[in-house]
Amino acid sequence: MNILILGSGGREHTFAYNIASSPKCDGLFVAPGNAGTQSLATNIPISINDFSEVKRCVLQHNIDMVIVGPEEPLVRGIADFFTNDDQLKNIMLIGPSEKGAALEGSKEVAKEFMERNSIPTAAYRSFTADNLNEGQDFLETLSPPYVLKADGLAAGKGVLILNDINDAKTELENMLSHQKFGEASSKVVIEEFLKGIEMSVFVLTDGKNYKVLPTAKDYKRIGEGDTGLNTGGMGAISPVPFADEILTQKIEERIIKPTIRGIENENIDYKGFVFIGLIIVNEEPYVIEYNVRMGDPETEVVLPRLKTDLVDLLEATYKQRLGDISLEVDSRAATTVMVVSGGYPEAYEKGKIISGIEAVSDSIVFHAGTTFKNGAVVTNGGRVLAITSLEGDYKKALKKSYQNIGKLHFDTMYYRKDIGFDLT
Ligand code: AMP
Ligand code: GLY
């Protein structure tokens, strides 16, 4: 079949890497893609939030399956656009309907869904500019730190955690009355702070059946020791070393099963990935967020561990036959370390020539923000490359990723040297 992947990051390069080796894949296209996907697939320079452009591309290249990488097209309803179009309705699109995507697109929708389905999460209330004063009074009833979340999509920046009550009140006002995060913060969820360790689980569902994919832990902060600004993710490890059998079972029983049952009972058309961000408090799992796609850079450690053919899995997802598939996972650990442009996640320069990629051995180089310029691979984003290694344990895998990063160079290159520092 002909397969189209939408997106341009390390996640999409990883999907392309897995799918390119599937016997079921005849033609592979990535829109818009990057320099890495170009070596495996045909890159198509379109805007993926313009669904009529996506439609033209699907029809022109006789696409049978579309995999949606990032959240934005999903939250804008790309799955419904396909279902409601006579020429597209039989294309296998992997991703939830707009109603399902609201689990990521609105923090309040996600919280209400968890409440209805008795899924453990932090206590919360939501506010708009009309009841700002009530929001400020509610803050007074909580103890610090205060967690303020913009309701809508804010490119991973919409969560503020503040220690001081006056700062929290000011920021609540900035979000609600001064559009700190634009339209996304016209509603704000204020939530109880949970102290614990974070990890993520990934589930593939056809809306009824599900498969639990390998767990992963992401390192979100730019600085070593988890300091500084939040980024999209600076590195990841799979499996999560502390996720033992007991914790894994609690997560499946208390979180995954009620989530999938909720999707089914609420008639949410959902054929795609559910990425569940968790905080483990005293060995008890709580949901901090749903994402309706795979994570980046978590994909760079989850997919390389899948032994089951990914196209088979996705086809079964579309046809609601996931129950018939058995999932095989590589028992080795996978790690990835992100190499980023100096300045990221704030302003950074692009167009720096990257050298040393061909010298990398025994690791996989996934391109995140790269392009070709005058025949050379150059930087084209904040996150530039993800270096993934597979080994018997995560420490050995990390060592290999770091050895190979030593062979890479570009002006302003930066990476965290302490991925995994909090694990023993
Ligand atoms: P989110 O976008 O909801 O994943 O939040 C971003 C980050 O804020 C998370 O990865 C956590 O580190 C932190 N966070 C979110 N909600 C809470 C909470 N209720 N308690 C403590 N930390 C939180
Ligand atoms: N790495 C976090 C995310 O993809 O949202």
Asked whether residue 297 is assigned to any structural domain, the reply reads no
pLDDT tens figures, 12-60: 999 999 999 999 999 999 999 999 999 999 999 999 999 999 999 999 9
Q: Pairing between strand 376-379 and 333-341?
A: unpaired
- Domain membership of residue 335 (yes or no) is no
- Tell me, yes or no, whether 232 lies in a domain: no
Task: Check whether residue 82 and residue 131 sit in a common domain.
Answer: no
- Indicate if ligand 1 lies below 6 Å from the C-beta of 391: no
Are both 89 and 147 inside the same structural domain?
no
DSSP 170-225: HHHHHHHHS-TTGGGGSEEEEE----SEEEEEEEEESSS-EEEPPPBEE--EEETT
**Does one domain contain both 127 and 90?**
no
84 plus 11 within the same structural domain: yes
Verify that 85 and 166 share a domain, yes or no: no
Instruction: Among 162, 191, 220, give the residue marking a domain's end.
Output: 191
- Indicate the residue among 191, 206, 222 that finishes a domain: 191
295 CA: nearest ligand 2 atom: 4
The pTM of this model reads: 0.95
Asked whether residue 24 is domain-assigned, the answer is yes
Best substitution site from 72, 149, 218 to test ligand 2's pocket, by max atoms within 8 Å of Cβ? 218
Residue pLDDT, tens place only, 180-231: 888 898 889 999 999 999 999 999 999 999 999 999 999 999 999 999 988 9
Q: Is residue 32 domain-resident?
A: yes
DSSP state of 356: -
* Same-domain check for residues 127 and 187: yes
* d(C-alpha 292, C-alpha 8), whole Å: 17
- CATH code, domain with 165: 3.30.1490.20
For 268-287, the DSSP string reads ----EEEEEEEEEETTEEEE
Whole-number Å distance, alpha carbon 308 to ligand 1 midpoint, is: 32
Residues 164 and 87 in one domain: no
Range of the domain at 27: 2-97
Residue 110: count of CB within 10 angstroms of its CB: 24
pLDDT of residue 202: 98
Q: Indicate whether 329 belongs to any domain.
A: no
* CA atoms 390, 396, 398, 403: torsion sign: negative
Q: Is residue 315 part of a domain?
A: no
Number of domains making up the chain: 2
What CATH number corresponds to the domain at position 20? 3.40.50.20
Residue 398, in any domain of the structure: no
Angstrom distance (rounded) from CA 136 to CA 170:
9
Among 191, 225, 244, where does a domain finish?
191
CB 368 within 8 A of CB 384: yes
Nearest residue (CA) to ligand 2, atom 2:
295
Pocket test for ligand 1, best of 219, 288, 289 (most atoms within 8 A of CB): 288
CB distance 142 to ligand 1 below 6 Å: no
Backbone angles phi, psi at 171, to 5 degrees: -65, -35
> Residue with the nearest Cα to atom 4 of ligand 2?
295
158 — pLDDT class (breaks 50, 70, 90): confident
Best residue for ligand 2 mutational test, from 298, 337, 419 (most atoms within 8 Å of Cβ): 298
